[in-house]
Each structure stands twice: as structure tokens, then as C-alpha cells.
Amino acid sequence: MASEGLARALAAVLGGQGLPVHSCDSEPAEEPPAPVRLRKNVCYVVLAVFLNEQDEVLLIQEAKKECHGSWYLPAGRMEPGETIVEALQREVKEEAGLHCEPLTLLSVEERGPSWIRFVFLARATGGILKTPKEADAESLQAGWYPRTSLPTPLRAQDILHLVELAAQHRQQARHPLILPQELPCSLVCQRLIATFTSVQTVWVLVGTVGMPHLPITACGFTPMEQRGGIKMAILRLLQECLTLHHLVVETKGLLGLQHLGKDHADGICLNVLVTVAFRNPGMQREPPKVRGENYFWWKVMEEDLQRQLLQRLRESSVVPINR
């Protein structure tokens, strides 16, 4: 029965869906996590990449004093009470004058758990492009520019990579369409799909406290966890049950994203695909031994799930997490 529940949970996560977050399996010992609050201890930023049929990119001209007159992609900070999609649509309307809908998450960028940016590929659904006559504190104007000939000066060069990522996705998508799932969470946390593979067999790490489940690790806000980024929370959980010095741990990327933003639920849960492998594989065909009773390796027997997991791992079919 436990395997059936795990199979349903894994299928939901692989399908980009969310799962409720009831508790965390790992928390920073020196700092029990407190509920996160936008504009207080976390900052989330949304950014949209638009590409039209002429291979042009939508850019806005900045009105802020520190970058006045420079060009950038529509972007801005989320406000309390917003969903991620609502924040994206508000920023695009304020800065570019357009209504839009997100097509997929393209990238997640982080500077530790307290600053996370969500990058989307989006399309315009209406509105009127902002002209210099409508200049205000949000932006001076907006315009479409050839992808290979963007206006200067740019506010920052970081958008060049994002524009190319969007173009690559349109040409050949590396991952399925992924959009935020509206589920409440009080913390910044990560649900791990931690895998070990051998030949055509795959195991997934499972937490045992309560019902068997995909384990969740809470991100801490100590200086060390801020410097190390959100991967620190992954390593902390794995260190609690595995001997890591003879293992290689790699965060592949996101399978999904959960956030609500209503009723003071400002937290997020990132569903993260992780690989665990031996540094010197040799004849090792079984996953590394688990210490304690709080975790075990679950051998995925359902053929379709096994095929999906192996394919996603082989093709790195995930949303990248960049630092």
C-alpha cells in the first residue's frame, strides 16, 4: 500500500503537480525555521521573456534613478498576497502595458533562500504597448527588438542568457511546460526526488516519519545557508542519513514549484530532482546504505514511472536552478 501511495506522489511530481507540505524532515538545527514573509525576510522576483513570431524580444526602458534609460526584460518584486502568476501579470502590465499569460517556467535563480527570481516564457494576450507618452515611475516605454540586436545600454547582461534560454526552449523544449501550483506553504523548502540509478533500475529516497513520503528539507536563513544557497538544505538532509564523503550529489533542477501567496502563506516548495552516485562506482549495484530509521531507498517498480525518471535524468529535463 505504501508503494502505491509513493507511486502516486512520484507521478504527480513528475507531472509538474504539487503535493501538500505538512512538515519537514530536515531543519537547520541552530535556527528553527519561522514562517517567511515577503518584504520582511524573503524577496521573490518575477521576470518575463516574450518572443514574437519575428524573433523579437519585448524590452522595457527603465525609469528608476539608478538605471534610468537603460533596457531590461519586464521584471519586479512580488507583493504580499499575490500568486506568482498574478505578480508576473501585474509587472508586465505596469511596465509594458500588455496583458499576458505565462507559458512555462524557464529558470529559477537564487542568492540564498531569501532572494529567489522566477523566470518565465510568456505570451502577450492583449493590451497596448507602452509609449513614451505613458512614461511613469514604472518604466519610460516598451518595445519589441530583434533578438540578435538588442538596444543599449542594457541594465545588466544577465538577461542575454535568459533570452537565449527562451529561444532554445521554443526551438526544442528540454522540459515539459511547468507552471506554479497554488498550494500553501509557510517556509522556503524543497521536496527531494533523490535518485540512485544502476543499469535500468532507479531507487528514490523516502522519508518514513508518518506515512512514507518524498522527503522535505527546510531552507535556513543563517549566514552559512545564505552563502551556500538552497543546495545547503539538500546536503543537510542527505548528511543526516547517508555517508557523503564517498558519494557525488548533484542537483539536476526543478520538476515543479508550489506557492500560494494568500492568507500570509508566502513560502514556496521547490520539487527538486537530485542524483546520488558513488565516487568510485566499481561493482556497486545497490544504493548507498541509509543510517537510522527515518529514511529508506524505494525501488521504483512501476515501468512507466521508471521510464519517466530515467528519461528526465538522461535528458536533464528539468527547469535549471542558477546561482
Give the per-residue pLDDT at 264: 76
SS3 state at 54:
coil
pLDDT higher than threshold 80 for residue 31? no
List pLDDT tens digits, range 150-186.
999 999 999 999 999 999 999 999 999 999 999 999 9
Number of H helices, E strands in the chain: 6, 14
List pLDDT tens digits, range 92-130.
999 999 999 999 999 999 999 999 999 999 999 999 999
Distance, CA of 51 to CA of 62 (rounded, Å): 20
Q: What is the mean pLDDT of residues 130-140?
A: 97
The one-character DSSP state at 114 is: T
The one-character DSSP state at 80 is: T
Distance, CA of 200 to CA of 216 (rounded, Å): 26
Indicate the Cα dihedral angle 24, 30, 36, 39, nearest 10°. -160
Structural contact between residues 97 and 127, judged by C-beta atoms closer than 8 angstroms:
yes
Fill in the amino acid letter for 65: K
Give the per-residue pLDDT at 1: 46
> Three cell numbers at 226?
545564505
pLDDT higher than threshold 50 for residue 23? yes
> Domains of the chain by range and CATH?
43-171 (3.90.79.10), 183-208+229-255+264-277+285-309 (no CATH)
Give the per-residue pLDDT at 284: 79
Q: SS3 sequence, 118-160?
A: EEEEEEEEEECCCCHHHCCCCCCEEEEEECCCCCCCECCCHHH
Where is average pLDDT lowest: 25-34, 37-46, 184-193?
25-34
pTM of the model: 0.96
Where is average pLDDT lowest: 105-119, 204-218, 224-238, 280-294?
280-294
